[in-house]
């Protein structure tokens, strides 16, 4: 059985105006014993910025900025920069984040050489309306739930709302000469392959990529705890057995949605090939800090750190605070690849 230890809350909201309502969903970069944490901070007007904290070891907060590190400066992000993820490719750090303009949720990115100064690079999402996607879907014949989400967002935000494009981040190295990008068009997790980052800002690239969507789905929602949708969580990291991805799964209930954390293992040379997957959640909202908050019953993993064989998973808890859970990486790898396991995860509190 995979033993998961919930270690508790590492960051709470403060009286600082930019993070008075909530702190959540951090991007994590580990340098030895230091953890750089870039987190979503929510103010009382429900506008998000990116805050920064540095940890010594997995949980000891050593430094925390009293002002945002990054905030919305362009129209496409004026209502928020949300859910940052950090990946290093070569000598460059890439921060991917959800940009919200009050109507549309797309992904944008910024780069840095030192994790202190970031240069915004713009949107890297398909600038296609759900109405246009519906027409494309007539050819693709995707499962009904793609059309369900299209109808849902058109009703919520208007007929011209763009495809809701979140949970986007690249693999930390090229695979067979190409970059690979995990992204999410509801309800599944997909991969896009590309030659350079400029391509991601060309709408013709995305038109062609979306035509390949059925072949580029890596994970579908199929288990009881994934009944509504799934989405990328923590950027993938490489092990001897393959790429590990910790993702989130959303369960529909009459009393409201429940967000779980789960894990999968992708082939090193062909990440479209899933070689292992948990068939029960890695962990679920059970503690008060996970069940009660800005949005109740949420664990939303967005970053990892590895200390010897212990994998630390940083997650948004009830969209209110940031918490940490840990597990043995070797046990997780073994369970994901053992078809007789996956139904007996045990969480220690």
DSSP code per residue over 133-146 = HHHHHHHH---HHH
- Please write the tens of the pLDDT for every residue from 46-57: 999 999 999 999
Q: Which pLDDT belongs to residue 341? A: 61
Contacts of 183 (CB under 8 A, 6+ apart): 107, 165, 167, 168, 189, 190, 191, 192, 232
333's enclosing H/E stretch is helix 329-337
342: pLDDT confidence band, cut at 50, 70 and 90? very low
> What are the tokens at 338?
């053992």
Q: Output the CA–CA distances (angstroms, integers) from residue 200 to 55, 98, 187, 191, 231, in the order listed.
A: 33, 15, 21, 13, 19
Report the pLDDT averaged over residues 310-320. 98
- Residue whose tokens read 């000891």: 60
CB 262 within 8 A of CB 248: yes
The long-range contacts involving 73-77, CB below 8 angstroms and separated by at least 24 positions, are: 73/120, 74/99, 74/120, 74/122, 75/101, 76/101, 76/104, 76/106, 76/108, 76/123, 77/101, 77/108
Segment 24-34, tens digit of pLDDT = 999 999 999 99
- Angstrom distance (rounded) from CA 27 to CA 22: 15
Predicted pLDDT at 346: 44
Please compute the mean of the pLDDT values over residues 256-265 and round it to a whole number. 97
Q: What is the pLDDT of residues 106-156, one digit of tens each?
A: 999 999 999 999 999 999 999 999 999 989 988 998 999 999 999 999 999
In this prediction, residue 348 carries a pLDDT of 52
Radius of gyration (Cα) for the chain, nearest Å?
A: 19
Q: Write out the DSSP string of 235-299.
A: PPEE-SS-EEEEEEEEE--TT--EEEEEEEEE-SS-TTSEEEE-SS-SB---SHHHHSSSSSSBE
pLDDT band, very low/low/confident/very high, at 1 (cuts 50, 70, 90): confident
Q: Is the pLDDT of residue 335 over 70?
A: yes
Question: Does 343 score more than 60 pLDDT?
Answer: no
Q: State the pLDDT at residue 344.
A: 44
Closest of 53, 49, 235, 209 to residue 126, by C-alpha: 209
Q: What is the pTM of this model?
A: 0.95
Neighbours of 61 (CB within 10 A): 14
**Mean per-residue pLDDT for 84-91?**
98
Largest CA distance in the chain: 53
pLDDT for residue 349 is more than 70 = no
Judge whether residue 8 has pLDDT over 80.
yes
């Amino acid at each position: 059985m995979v033993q998961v230890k919930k270690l508790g809350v590492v960051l709470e909201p403060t009286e600082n105006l930019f993070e008075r309502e909530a702190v959540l969903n951090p991007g994590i970069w580990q340098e030895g014993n230091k953890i750089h944490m870039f987190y979503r901070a929510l103010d009382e007007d429900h506008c998000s910025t990116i805050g920064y904290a540095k940890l010594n070891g997995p949980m000891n907060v050593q430094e925390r900025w009293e002002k945002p590190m990054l905030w919305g400066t362009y129209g496409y992000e004026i209502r928020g920069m949300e859910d940052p993820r950090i990946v290093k490719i070569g000598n460059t750090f890439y921060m991917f984040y959800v940009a919200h303009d009050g109507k549309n949720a797309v992904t944008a990115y910024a780069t840095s050489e030192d994790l202190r100064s970031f240069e915004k690079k713009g949107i890297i999402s398909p600038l296609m309306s759900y109405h246009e996607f519906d027409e494309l879907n007539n050819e693709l014949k995707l499962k009904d739930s793609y059309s369900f989400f299209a109808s849902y967002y058109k009703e919520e935000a208007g007929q011209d709302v763009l495809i809701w494009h979140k949970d986007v981040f690249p693999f930390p190295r090229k695979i067979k000469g190409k970059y690979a990008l995990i992204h999410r068009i509801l309800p599944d997790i997909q991969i896009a392959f590309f030659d350079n980052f400029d391509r991601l800002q060309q709408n013709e690239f995305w038109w062609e990529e979306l035509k390949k969507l059925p072949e580029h789905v890596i994970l579908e929602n199929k288990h009881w705890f994934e009944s509504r949708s799934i989405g990328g969580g923590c950027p993938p990291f490489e092990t001897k057995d393959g790429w590990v991805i910790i993702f989130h799964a959303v369960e529909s209930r009459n009393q409201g949605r429940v967000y779980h954390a789960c894990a999968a293992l992708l082939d090193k040379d062909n990440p479209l090939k899933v070689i292992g997957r948990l068939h029960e959640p890695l962990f679920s909202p059970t503690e008060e800090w996970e069940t009660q908050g800005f949005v109740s019953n949420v664990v939303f993993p967005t970053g990892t750190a590895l200390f010897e064989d212990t994998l630390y998973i940083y997650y948004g808890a009830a969209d209110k605070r940031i918490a940490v859970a840990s597990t043995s990486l070797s046990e997780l790898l073994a369970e994901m690849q053992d078809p007789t396991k996956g139904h007996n995860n045990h969480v220690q509190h």
